[in-house]
Homo-oligomer: A and B are copies of this chain.
Amino acid sequence: MLADTRIPGVRALFFDVFGTLVDFRTSVAREAERLLNPGGYRLDWLAFADAWRGEYQPTLEEVRAGRQPYVKLDVLHRINLERILPRFGLPALPEETMRELNLAWHRLDAWPEVPAAMARLKKKFLLAPLSNGNIALMVDLARRNNLPWDTILGADIARDFKPKPGVYLSACEALDLAPTQCMLVAAHSNDLAAAAALGLRTAHVARPNEHGPGKGERAPNLPVDVAGADLNDVADKLGA
């Protein structure tokens, strides 16, 4: 049913999500402002989003290194939220506010071209997120942004976080595909390097403004099979 591509043999595209498909920075800033502004809080909302995301890799590393058991990213986001609140002079907030604020990560908006590009890619490839986000979070982002996943793979399936090899390999295995039949699409060279080391094909998407204007990868720092200025460009180059 699914035709071959210009990269022979690729049957499935796996996607990094945070930064690659969705603009987490401005979305988290918007959600934080929406939920905290009515309480009279005035923050630098983008700095708040940056600080929250800044805790991401160190917290995940505790799990990757085996010092903490696997828990869903939602749980780690909550821990990191509690960690950064004092830095912004925020008091302990009501539980309902904390819960809603933590769900900011379920309400991220896709970069503008993503929904249409995904609809094109769906006709030619199996599509699944290969994200550190948990299944419920991925489902909410998919419903919000029309991401037409065939299934959700990634951290919750592997019970570990990228770039640990088992996360990529469990995704290939779930679809009964060899790594060479799978391509990771990501805006981050380190993610693509980990995938390539296991035999997956790679596609880089430029997101030059991921962490603010000019603060994102304009190009990969390693050889990749495809590099695109955005996801439509990747789709063009894959013949989708």
Contacts and interface: CB of A to CB of B under 8 A. Distances in A.
Contacts of A2: 143
A136 B175 contact: yes
A149 B142 CA distance: 11
A139 B151 contact: yes
How many chain copies does the complex carry?
2
Given A74-B176, A175-B136, A1 B151 contact: no
Contact of A135 (B74, B135, B138, B151): B151
A146 B176 CA distance: 20
Nearest to A157: B157
Contacts of A144: 1
A150 B157 contact: no
A174 B135 contact: yes
Contact of A174 (B1, B150, B156): B156
B176 A151 contact: no
Q: Which of A2, A138, A152 has the most CB of B within 10 A?
A: A152
A143 B142 CA distance: 17
Interface in A116-151: 126, 134-136, 138-139, 142-144, 149-151
A150 B156 contact: no
Given A151-B151, A152-B151, A136 B174 contact: yes
B175 A135 contact: yes
Nearest to A148: B148
A150 B156 CA distance: 15
A151 B127 CA distance: 11
Contact of A1 (B136, B143, B150): B143
Interface of A: 1-2, 74, 126, 134-136, 138-139, 142-144, 149-152, 156-157, 174-176
| A-B complex: 4 closest residue pairs judged by Cβ atoms | A151-B152, A136-B176, A135-B174, A139-B150
6 contacts: A2-B143, A74-B176, A135-B175, A138-B151, A139-B151, A157-B157
